[in-house]
């Protein structure tokens, strides 16, 4: 059985429901949406399909997206997730499904609170608290959107990287050579050709690589998935290092996210990131997500392991 609340299934033919493994919209996005469509096992218990992204461990954004989906399936449609705070406890096994256990902490008049645990091999690999809010009017203000080139003025990440192959590590070339569920446009790619240290900040445009269903919960789950992409990597900018360098051990430790305004993840979103601090083998990073109209739609914070390692002990 597949739930229709969060996933591919919909009655609106313009909502992306024609996306599938054999469709013209690309199988990577179809696989992501299928991964975010959870199977109910029992009350408050759901199964998330295993990772098919080719990593040695489960990508943290996939766990975030599935956990958001699991929590949303226990909450009424009259309220949406507005914040989450998660901890990555163990590296996920990409050859195993993840079981999500949702605890119903509180159902209030305006707010709903859930606690989610992601389980593999009988152990918790991820723990998250999430809060949902019923829409209401209030005061409004926001920070200004950075002045950067628009997405249509920038090459796709794949075409950009194809021109830099001689400068990239083998594992990075292999990563960018395959299909991805997200269309990424890098605002300043000079860090990939010049390893000089610079201010710890970067920005990317991103959107789903095809249309998504007209279900707000799907768009939030996909943005949660995308929010782990490049965020911790921002801390490396200050040191002239890259995510794929073999002398770096990089892993997300915790992740917090706030959803401020309605948005669509199949429309362009600017993800502006900076890293105010790195110390004691931990990097601290922040992100702000804006839509094309300049509205701040979400914010992220993450701390991660950023450890130097001796390449003599790196497994080939």
Query: Tens digits of per-residue pLDDT, 42-63?
Result: 999 999 998 777 667 899 999 9
> 243-283 pLDDT, tens per residue?
888 899 999 999 999 999 999 999 999 999 999 999 999 99
Per-residue confidence at 179, pLDDT binned at 50, 70, 90? confident
Helix (H) or strand (E) segment spanning residue 3 = none
Q: Average pLDDT for residues 296-308, to the nearest whole number?
A: 97
When pLDDT is averaged across residues 15-37 and rounded to a whole number, the result is: 63
Q: Supply the pLDDT for residue 158.
A: 78
Tokens of 149: 């080139």
Q: According to the model, what pLDDT value does residue 10 have?
A: 32
Q: Is 228 a catalytic residue?
A: yes
Look at residue 155 and tell me whether its pLDDT is greater than 60.
yes
Contact yes or no for 196/244 (Cβ under 8 A) = no
The per-residue pLDDT for 162 is: 75
Question: Would residue 215 be called left, alpha or beta, if left means φ above 0 and alpha means ψ between -120 and 50 degrees?
Answer: beta
Q: For residues 238 and 1, which has the higher predicted lDDT (pLDDT)?
A: 238
Quote the pLDDT of residue 309: 87
Q: How many residues does the chain have?
A: 316
Under the banding of pLDDT at 50, 70 and 90, the label for residue 166 is low
Candidate from 15-24, 90-99, 189-198, 206-215 with smallest mean pLDDT? 15-24
Question: Cα dihedral sign for 31, 36, 37, 41?
Answer: positive
Q: What is the mean pLDDT of residues 138-166?
A: 88
Q: What is the dihedral of CA 259, 262, 266, 270, to 10 degrees?
A: -60
At residue 54, the pLDDT reads 63
Q: Which of 227, 252, 275, 288 is catalytic?
A: 252
Give the pLDDT mean for 4-20: 33
Contact 84, 61 (CB under 8 A): no
The beta-carbon contacts of 122-127 under 8 Å, at least 24 apart in sequence, are 123/90, 124/89, 124/90, 125/58, 125/63, 125/88, 125/89, 125/90, 125/91, 125/92, 125/98, 126/63, 126/67, 126/86, 126/87, 126/88, 126/89, 126/92, 126/98, 127/86, 127/87, 127/89
302: nearest Cα among 242, 224, 239: 224
The pLDDT-based confidence of 15 (bands split at 50, 70, 90) is very low
> Which of these is catalytic: 183, 228, 233, 245?
228
Residue 56's pLDDT is 77
Cα 36 from Cα 135, distance rounded (Å): 24
Task: Name the catalytic one among 51, 131, 273, 302.
Answer: 302
pLDDT at 8 (0 to 100): 33
What is d(CA 132, CA 125) in angstroms, rounded to the nearest whole number? 23
At residue 311, the pLDDT reads 59
C-alpha to C-alpha distance for 9 and 18, rounded to whole angstroms: 9
Q: Return the pLDDT at 246.
A: 86
Q: What is the pLDDT of residues 81-134, one digit of tens each?
A: 999 999 999 999 999 999 999 999 999 999 999 999 999 999 999 999 999 999
Mean pLDDT across 61-71: 98
Residue of higher predicted confidence among 24 and 159: 159
The model's pTM is 0.88
Q: Which of 160-174, 212-226, 281-295 has the lowest mean pLDDT?
A: 160-174
For the chain, report the end-to-end CA distance as a whole number of angstroms: 41
Active site residue 135: no
Query: What is the pLDDT at residue 244?
Result: 80
What is the architecture of the domain spanning 27-135+154-313? Answer: Beta Barrel (2.40)
Confidence class for position 18, pLDDT limits 50, 70, 90: very low
How high is the pLDDT of residue 52?
75
Nearest-10 Cα torsion for 293, 294, 300, 301 = 170
51: annotated active-site residue: no
């Amino acid at each position: 059985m597949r739930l229709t609340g969060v996933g591919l299934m919909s009655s609106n033919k313009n909502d992306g429901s024609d996306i599938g493994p054999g469709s013209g919209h690309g199988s990577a996005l179809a696989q992501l949406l299928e991964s975010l469509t959870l199977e109910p096992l029992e009350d408050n218990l759901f199964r998330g399909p295993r990772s098919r992204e080719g990593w040695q461990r489960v990508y943290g954004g996939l766990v975030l997206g599935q956990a958001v989906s699991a929590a949303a399936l226990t909450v009424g449609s009259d309220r949406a997730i507005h914040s989450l705070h998660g901890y990555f406890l163990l590296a996920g096994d990409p050859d195993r499904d993840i079981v999500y256990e949702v605890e119903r902490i509180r159902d209030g008049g305006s707010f709903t609170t859930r606690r989610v645990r992601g389980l593999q091999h009988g152990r918790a690999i991820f723990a998250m608290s999430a809060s949902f809010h019923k829409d209401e009017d209030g005061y409004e203000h926001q920070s200004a959107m950075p002045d950067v080139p628009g997405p249509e003025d920038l090459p796709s990440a794949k075409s950009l990287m194809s021109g830099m192959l001689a400068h990239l590590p083998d594992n990075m070339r292999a990563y960018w050579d395959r299909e991805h569920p997200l269309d990424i446009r890098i605002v300043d790619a000079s860090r990939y050709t010049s390893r000089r240290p610079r201010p710890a900040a970067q920005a990317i445009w991103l959107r789903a690589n095809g249309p998504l269903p007209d279900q707000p919960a799907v768009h939030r789950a996909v943005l949660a998935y995308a929010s782990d992409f490049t965020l911790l990597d921002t801390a490396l900018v200050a040191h002239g290092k890259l995510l794929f360098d073999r002398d770096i051990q990089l892993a997300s430790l915790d992740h917090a996210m706030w959803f401020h305004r309605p948005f669509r993840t199949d429309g362009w979103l600017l993800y502006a990131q900076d890293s105010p601090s790195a110390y004691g083998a931990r990097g601290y990073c922040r992100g702000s997500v804006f839509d094309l109209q300049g509205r701040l739609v979400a914010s992220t914070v993450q701390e991660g392991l950023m450890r130097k390692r001796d390449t003599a002990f790196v497994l080939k």
